[in-house]
Amino acid sequence: MELENLLNKYFGYKTFKTGQKEVISSLLGGNHTIAMLPTGTGKSLCYQLPGYCLDGQIIIISPLLSLMQDQVEQLMKFGEKRVIALNSFLDAEKRGYVLRNLTKYKYIFVSPEMLSLPIIMKRLQALSVSLFVVDEAHCISQWGFDFRPEYSKLGEYRDQLGNPLTLALTATATKKVREDIIQSLDLQNYTKIESTIDRPNIAFYIEEVPNYYDKQSRLIELVCQLQKPGIIYFSSKKIAEQMASLLADKGISRAMAYHGGLDQEQRILIQQQFIHGQLDVICATSAFGMGVNKENIRFVIHYHMPMQMESYLQEIGRAGRDGEKSIAILLYSPGDEQLPVQLAESELPSEQQIDWLFSYFPKEEKLIDHFLEMNQHLREDGGFSEIQWRIIQDFIKKPLEIYSLEHLKKGLKDFVNDRLKVKKGSIHYLKKWIKSESCRRELILDYFDEEPVKGRNQNCCDVCGIQFEQYHAQAGIQSYPVKDETWKDYLANILLNREMSK
């Protein structure tokens, strides 16, 4: 049957969106495929449709539980009942049932962590997996080295499943990210399908403000002026909260904070309210965004700079999905890069911590494997965070060719230093981009190994020139009345306090 007919039959669409057909054809031709498609172009269809052509199960690796639930619901909506999200939301009874009846399902969603559990893997190995999908595959590169190490083991898991046909999906992939994906998944041959990452309707605007106070007042000013809805990204939960209540209390906008510290219920509620237009502004940390499909976001402001260009691009890419004019604003004040550096450093164990820990290590090789598990108190005593501890545990489990304690210690330190170097490098690159005096868009395209676009659009970036007023809310269109006087009073207060504190 023609692919278009299948599309119509199962999903009710007449035509494919850009890239979808290429990806599906590539897979049906038996090729491992890495697809870089812009957000909002229906990436999920790329594995949903092949389900109707391939025998056997489709396993989809998904980074977030909420994302899995969404996708399960989406498939159900299309009338597909053979769908399951195999995760910790299932209680013991249900999980038992699901595991005993896995063959009844066609689409199985799992987290990388789930795959690492032998019981789960054993059950999955009994299936005949026809397609292994890694959704949001840039997570391999972004998280696999430290934050979520199971992401770097997907190749192993894939091997245990008999190296099935594989699809990696992402919206953002530099050459480096692509290499990490290929290496981690251990793909020998593969087809690459890419489309440009450029989003011509999003203008770039970087503004340098002299200090903290000016940044705060400038942000308030911007939120007042700009056409909403919009997202403001922060690198601190507390500041996001503070700013959200400030904006809401002063009647500037209907704003809420969103971050990983909130419980699941609240997060879902806030996200839904924003999507349905009951909120104008989300003050968020990097926790917000994956799986948020809102068409009409008009601005994304960065109050703090992100840790890497890939994250930045993903975050601003949530604006203007409807193709309408949107703006990405980054507020920079001198020294801002210190916060991400600090975050990067605190994630990894320090040299001192490593030295301290190794002084407790047994000298005998065969004792080392379970040493850390047996001595959990060392984690607390040495002040290791959960992530630091896991990085160490993970490193120690790696087989070394020649064993010696010194060897292991040096290896670990080298690993940590390498990671830190990479992370600092990314932060440095972003700073360079902020400080640069060439076209913002051109530099980003260059970073992603793309040719610069010909024929610059009218509103490109602050360097090329931009008509800022075009992004202002127009009278009458504003979804929520802005009390002009209130914020001016507030601004005056901030400035007054500042004068007094001098």
Partner DNA sequence: CGGTAGCAAGCTACCTTGCTACCGGTGCTGTAGT
C-alpha gyration radius of the chain: 24
Site for DNA in 457-496 (CB under 7 A): none
Which range, of 91-99, 392-400, 471-479, 490-498, touches DNA by CB under 7 A? 91-99
Beta bridge partners of 328: 204, 300
259 binds DNA (CB under 7 A): yes
As a whole number of angstroms, the distance between CA 17 and CA 35 comes to 13
334 binds DNA (CB under 7 A): yes
65 binds DNA (CB under 7 A): yes
- Maximum Cα–Cα distance across the chain: 76
Q: Rounded to the nearest whole angstrom, what is the least distance from the CB of residue 151 to DNA in the complex?
A: 10
Amino acid at 6: L
78 binds DNA (CB under 7 A): no
275 binds DNA (CB under 7 A): no
Length of the chain counted residue by residue: 502
126 binds DNA (CB under 7 A): no
244 binds DNA (CB under 7 A): no
- Kind plus residue range of the DSSP H or E element containing 36: strand 33-36
Q: Rounded to the nearest whole angstrom, what is the least distance from the CB of residue 76 to DNA in the complex?
A: 19
Beta bridge partners of 235: none
Which range, of 28-36, 47-55, 167-175, 283-291, touches DNA by CB under 7 A? 283-291
- Kind plus residue range of the DSSP H or E element containing 174: none
113 binds DNA (CB under 7 A): yes
The 3 state secondary structure assigned to 256-290 is EEECCCCCHHHHHHHHHHHHCCCCCEEEECCCCCC
* Per-residue binder mask for DNA (CB under 7 A), 301-330, x = binder: ------x-----------------------
Q: Rounded to the nearest whole angstrom, what is the least distance from the CB of residue 53 to DNA in the complex?
A: 29
Q: Where are the beta strands (DSSP E) in 209-259?
A: 230-233, 255-258
Nearest 5 degrees, angle CA 429-CA 441-CA 277?
Answer: 100
11 binds DNA (CB under 7 A): no
Q: Rounded to the nearest whole angstrom, what is the least distance from the CB of residue 21 to DNA in the complex?
A: 31
238 binds DNA (CB under 7 A): yes
Site for DNA in 381-410 (CB under 7 A): 386-387
Q: Rounded to the nearest whole angstrom, what is the least distance from the CB of residue 372 to DNA in the complex?
A: 15
Which range, of 16-24, 186-194, 236-244, 483-491, touches DNA by CB under 7 A? 236-244
Nearer CB in complex with DNA: 49/243: 243
As a whole number of angstroms, the distance between CA 56 and CA 264 comes to 33
Nearer CB in complex with DNA: 225/350: 350
Q: Rounded to the nearest whole angstrom, what is the least distance from the CB of residue 224 to DNA in the complex?
A: 21
As a whole number of angstroms, the distance between CA 120 and CA 122 comes to 5
Of 127, 106, 9, 117, the residue nearest 60 (C-alpha):
106
As a whole number of angstroms, the distance between CA 32 and CA 495 comes to 58
97 binds DNA (CB under 7 A): no
Task: Figure out which of the listed residues 88, 293, 404, 470 binds DNA, where binding follows CB under 7 A.
Answer: 88
- Kind plus residue range of the DSSP H or E element containing 250: none
Task: Figure out which of the listed residues 143, 356, 361, 468 binds DNA, where binding follows CB under 7 A.
Answer: 143
Nearer CB in complex with DNA: 46/290: 290
As a whole number of angstroms, the distance between CA 497 and CA 478 comes to 31
403 CB burial (10 A radius; 0-12, 13-18, 19+): exposed
92 binds DNA (CB under 7 A): yes
Cα–Cα separations (whole angstroms), residue 38 to 14, 15, 288, 314, 393: 20, 17, 18, 10, 36
Site for DNA in 154-213 (CB under 7 A): 211-212
Task: Figure out which of the listed residues 8, 272, 342, 417 binds DNA, where binding follows CB under 7 A.
Answer: 342
As a whole number of angstroms, the distance between CA 130 and CA 194 comes to 23
48 binds DNA (CB under 7 A): no
A 10 A CB-CB count for 171 gives 21
* Per-residue burial over 263-276, b = 16 or more CB atoms within 10 Å of its CB, e = otherwise: eeeebeebbeebee
Task: Figure out which of the listed residues 19, 38, 51, 63 binds DNA, where binding follows CB under 7 A.
Answer: 63
Task: Figure out which of the listed residues 343, 368, 445, 453 binds DNA, where binding follows CB under 7 A.
Answer: 343
141 binds DNA (CB under 7 A): no
As a whole number of angstroms, the distance between CA 317 and CA 328 comes to 9
For DNA, the binding residues (CB under 7 A) are 63-66, 87-89, 92, 95-96, 111, 113-114, 117, 119-120, 142-143, 146-148, 211-212, 235-238, 259-261, 285-287, 307, 334-335, 338-339, 342-344, 346-347, 386-387
